Each structure stands twice: as structure tokens, then as C-alpha cells.
Structure 1
Amino acid sequence: MTGVFKRSLSFPNKIPSRAPSKPPISYHNRSISLPCRSHPLISQLKNEIDELKTWSSKLENRTSVWLCYGLNRLKDVQDSLDDILQLPQTQESLRLHPTWAEKILEDFLRFVDVYGIFQTLVLSVKDDQLAAQVAIRKKDDSKIALYIKSRKKMAREMDKLVSAVRCIARCQFPGLDSGLSVADAELVGVIIDVIEVSMLVSVALFNGISLSFASRKSSWIGLRLPKKAKKIKIDEGIQEFQEIGIESLWGLRKKGYEEVRMVLKRMRDLEDCICDIETSGQRVFRSLINTRVSLLNSLTR
């Protein structure tokens, strides 16, 4: 019996195809995290983040109203993140990536600490403002000197908060070098963006007060910088704070009634601005605490 053989064609020079390199984001891995289509809460959060990034790009005529607007929008961002962190899909993703949860908890703890210190400093500023107004009415130069000294000290304290906040943003988010699902990549992406805009708003707040309260000598240091750098340094101050310059507080005994009255009016206006900033800062502070507590509760269920 003759065997039947099938002929096959072979190409001796055929080069075997190479396996494609693994992409940083896996589109085929099964995931129980957020679906590929963005969750409405994530879409909302992205819009709020974009709005804050646009807000932070303003370099001129920064006022207390502008600053309070940014703080209130930051509270909205934190609240939206809190809602996302309470989704079952998000909680499962964080359980699968425990280093993410640790990073978020640590960052929010540091933000809470910073804003807690800020609230204490604001109370001190308000007390100094009241004492200064009494000193202005009495034209007490010795008390005015104490007020000016307290402003310089406050500027240094705000500088410390700026450094602390920038350190938070510089810390890298863990676990990004491995392949992630589309949903997980989107989740961690918005969390990173929230930390970034939290830093932007916080720096605008603390740095604005610091530059506005800095001594006259410090402002002269800026003249040694390039022209562009000098402009940015000045513009980052808060307009209402800068209207109470040190030069307007000296020599009150030589000033007339109308001049003293105008200084007092600006001091009262500044006091109102400080109260508004304090209120907005408290809202951010509480929102940060709520988000961290919600995350802790979700991870311990």
C-alpha cells in the first residue's frame, strides 16, 4: 500500500515573528476595577482639575477673592475624590495595589498637618491685626513695630508651609512601572492630578501671604534677580495684603487724620479678607480629613 504524503511549503529564510513588547498599560488583562469607559465621577473630577489648573495660571492681580475661589474649588475636587474612593471598584483596586493606598493616606495626612498649622497661624494673624488697629488709632509706634515684626515672622512660617507642600508633590507615586489596566491607569492618574492641584492651590495661598508679609528688605533682594523672575515674585503676592505696606505704618504721629483713617480702613478690609481666607481654608481642611477618614474606613471593611 502506497502511503499518501501531503506536501508542505517551507521557506528556509523565514524570520520568526517577534513577540510584541509589553505595553505599560494592559488592555486585555481582566480587571475588577473601574470600567474602561470613564465613570461619571472621574469625568467630573477631571473637569474640576482642569478648571483649577487654569485658575493657577493667573499671575497678575491676585486678590483674596481669587484665592478663596481656588480654595473653594479645591474643596470640590477633594469632595469628588472622596466620592470616587468610596466606589466599590475603586476600593478593590486599592486593595490590589496597597502601595497606592499607603501613598494616598500619607499624602493626605501631610496635607491635613499643613492646613492644621495654617489654621493656627491665621488665628495669630487675626489677633495681630486687631492689636495693630488699636496701635494705629493710638499712633503707638512701639506697638506698630511689634506688628511689623510679627508680619516678618509670619512670612517665614508661611515659607515653611510652602516647602512642606512642595515635598508632598515631589514624592513619586509607586507601582507605575508595571502594566496597568486602562481603568487603573485612569484612577491613579486622577489621584496624581488631585495631589498636584492641591499643591498648586496651597502654594498660591501660603506663598501669597509670605510674599505679601515679607519685609521691605526682602523685596529689594528681588531686584538682583532677572527682570522676569522679579515680576513673578511680585505678582504672586495677594493684592489686599500688599496694600498695607510697611512704609504706610511708620511715622503715624506725623500723619494727618485722613491718612490715618485710610490706613485703618485698609486694615479693616484686610481683616475681612483674612476671615474669608480662613473660612475657605477650614473647608479644605475638613474635606481633607473626610477624604482620609473615608479611605481608612473603606480599607478596614
Structure 2
Amino acid sequence: MAPSFARSTSLPPSATHKKSSYHVRSVSLPCPSHPLISNLEEQIQAVRFWAANPEGSSAWIEAGLAHIELLQIALEDFLQLPQTQDTLRQAASVDQLLDDLLQLVDAYGSFVSTILTLKECHSNVQSAFRRQDEVRIASFLKSQRHVEKEIAQLASGLRGISKCQHLALCSDVKEIEITGIIREAICTTAFATMAIFSGVQTLSAAASSKKSFGATRSFKKLAIRYSLKKCGTSEEENIHTFERFEELDECIRLSECFGERVFRSLINLRVSALNIITP
């Protein structure tokens, strides 16, 4: 059984629940019912809904990364609107938006690299577990827990841009509307990314906990006895360890694949924004 999060993640107040100046009904945006605007707002809400319902599984993490990727695609489509581009070229807050995007790019670049390290650590732990080598298990678990701390630090590093703070003061209504919805997409991405990183860290911690290593029967014997339903209490505990290992394996695989895709989409998004404002 997949471990559950010890506590659920609470969402920051969403600007879409307030009387927002950049809501799709605004007459200043390209069209009250423009499909690209509607799609962007729908993707923002989809990511928020996902983050508000944590499940603590690899499937939940996969869904979250997929939602984030779709949000980045919707945001890039929004950037292609002529009025969006005209506004960004003169927006006082464009540098802040670019800085936030760069921070997300850096976070995902570090995350993908850290996932590869976690993959190696977890593989070493499983190898030592199969050999019933308690000394090597302890050594590799120490390395894995160090990686878990690095992932937790990556999550906390995004806290600043996940709170939808106000952008630079501006009296232009159109600029407030357009940069506002871009800002909400970025802070929603950051908040969901924190949930992703925390989810990976939690699954890894469950697999590396001391409770998971009460006994060290081989994987092959565990698998056979598990399939025949012939397990004692200690063997039941080992089966839970085996299941935690499998869940983390899947989490690492999905994080490596989807994390790289989100990383690339964020790079493309920032390049698009830079191209818009560069003469």
C-alpha cells in the first residue's frame, strides 16, 4: 500500500475566487470568450484542484506533473496573443515575471539531477537488501536521506513565488489584467511544484524509514511467499517494505520522465517571453 502524506497541503488564496481585474469577462482582454484565455484559466484551476487533493502516491505525482505541463503549454499559447505581447513589451513587471520563470527552471533542473541521484541511492539500497548486508544498507540509506533533504530544500526554495504576491504597481488596467493572469499561472506552477517535490520526498522517506528494515529476507523469497499468501508477521512487514520499494521505483521513473518534460517546457516558455520583449 502506498504511504499517505502526514499532512495535506493547503492552497494559498486563489485570485480567481476574488473579484479579479483579469477575469475572462474583462473587456480589456482580447475577447471575453477567447479560447486561449479560457483554457489558461481552466488549467490553473485544474492544477489547484489536483494540489488540494493529495493522495501520496506515484500516480498522484504523475498526474500533477502532467497538469503542470499542460498549464505551461496554455501559458505559452497565451503569450502568442498579439495584445499579450504588446502589453509585455511595456510592462513594468516583466523582469519580475522572467526572474520567477528562471527560478522555476533552476528548480526543475536541480530536481531532475537530484532524482537521478535518488535513483542510484535507491538501487543501491535494494541491492544491499537482497544481499542482507546490513552495513551497506545503513550506508546507502544515509545517502538516500541526504537526497531527501535536498529535495525538501528545493521545495522550500519556491515558497516565495508560490504566494501570488503583488507585482510592481501599475496604473494601466490592461497591463494589470494580462500580467496578473500570467503571474497567477506562475505562482500556481510554483505551488504545485512544491507539492510534487514534497510528495517525492515523502515516498522516499517511507521507503528508507527504519520501520521498513526490521528484517532482511530476500526479495525473491518474499515475492513467492507473498503470491502464495504464506507469510508470518515479520514477513508481512517485509512485504510492506517490498511494496514501498516498488512505489518509490515508479515514482522515480515518472519524476525523471515528466520532470524533464516540465523542465523543457519551462525553458521554452521563458525563451518565448524573452523573444517577445527583445527588440
Q: TM-score range by the shorter chain?
A: 0.7 to 0.9
Quote the Cα distance in structure 2 between the aligned partners of 1:244 and 1:132: 9
Within the candidate set 61, 71, 77, 1:77 is matched to 71
| Residues 261-283 of structure 1 deviation map (CA, whole Å, 9 limit, x = unaligned) | 77446424421321012211111
1:53 paired residue number: 48
* Most deviating of 245-254 and 197-206: 245-254
Within the candidate set 167, 173, 177, 2:160 is matched to 167
- Mark the CA change 1:145 to 1:48 in structure 2 (over 3 Å): closer, same or farther: same
Q: What secondary structure sits across from 1:58 in the alignment?
A: coil
2:194 maps to 1:198: no
2:80 paired residue number: 86
Q: What secondary structure sits across from 2:93 in the alignment?
A: helix
Quote the Cα distance in structure 1 between the aligned partners of 2:264 and 2:240: 36
Quote the Cα distance in structure 1 between the aligned partners of 2:33 and 2:219: 63
2:42 maps to 1:44: no
2:104 maps to 1:140: no
Quote the Cα distance in structure 2 between the aligned partners of 1:49 and 1:277: 21
Quote the Cα distance in structure 2 between the aligned partners of 1:254 and 1:213: 20
2:269 paired residue number: 291
2:58 paired residue number: 64
Deviation at 1:168, TM superposition (A): 2.2
Quote the Cα distance in structure 1 between the aligned partners of 2:219 and 2:71: 48
When the two structures are aligned, how many residues end up with a matched partner?
241
Q: What secondary structure sits across from 1:252 in the alignment?
A: coil
- Mark the CA change 1:79 to 1:186 in structure 2 (over 3 Å): closer, same or farther: same
* Most deviating of 68-77 and 188-197: 188-197
Residue type matched to 1:69 in 2? A
- Mark the CA change 1:65 to 1:211 in structure 2 (over 3 Å): closer, same or farther: closer
2:156 maps to 1:156: no
Quote the Cα distance in structure 1 between the aligned partners of 2:166 and 2:196: 24
Q: Contact 1:41–1:83 at 8 Å: present in 2 too?
A: yes
1:246 paired residue number: 210
Quote the Cα distance in structure 2 between the aligned partners of 1:116 and 1:206: 13
Report the TM-score, using the length of structure 1 for normalisation.
Answer: 0.72
2:201 paired residue number: 210
- Mark the CA change 1:175 to 1:39 in structure 2 (over 3 Å): closer, same or farther: farther
Quote the Cα distance in structure 2 between the aligned partners of 1:255 and 1:194: 45
Q: Contact 1:159–1:207 at 8 Å: present in 2 too?
A: yes
- Mark the CA change 1:116 to 1:256 in structure 2 (over 3 Å): closer, same or farther: closer
Q: Contact 1:108–1:288 at 8 Å: present in 2 too?
A: yes
Quote the Cα distance in structure 2 between the aligned partners of 1:56 and 1:50: 10
- Mark the CA change 1:268 to 1:77 in structure 2 (over 3 Å): closer, same or farther: same
Report the TM-score, using the length of structure 2 for normalisation.
Answer: 0.77
Quote the Cα distance in structure 1 between the aligned partners of 2:176 and 2:150: 37
Residue type matched to 1:66 in 2? W
Percentage of matched positions with identical amino acids: 36
Residue type matched to 1:76 in 2? L
Quote the Cα distance in structure 1 between the aligned partners of 2:246 and 2:48: 32
Q: Considering only aligned residues, what root-mean-square deviation do their CA atoms show, in Å?
A: 2.8
In structure 2, the gaps of 5 or more residues are 1-19, 22-26, 223-234
Quote the Cα distance in structure 1 between the aligned partners of 2:251 and 2:30: 44
Deviation at 1:300, TM superposition (A): 1.6
Deviation at 1:190, TM superposition (A): 1.6
* Most deviating of 65-74 and 268-277: 268-277
In structure 1, the gaps of 5 or more residues are 1-23, 26-30, 215-241
| Residues 107-138 of structure 1 deviation map (CA, whole Å, 9 limit, x = unaligned) | 11000001101011000011112111211111
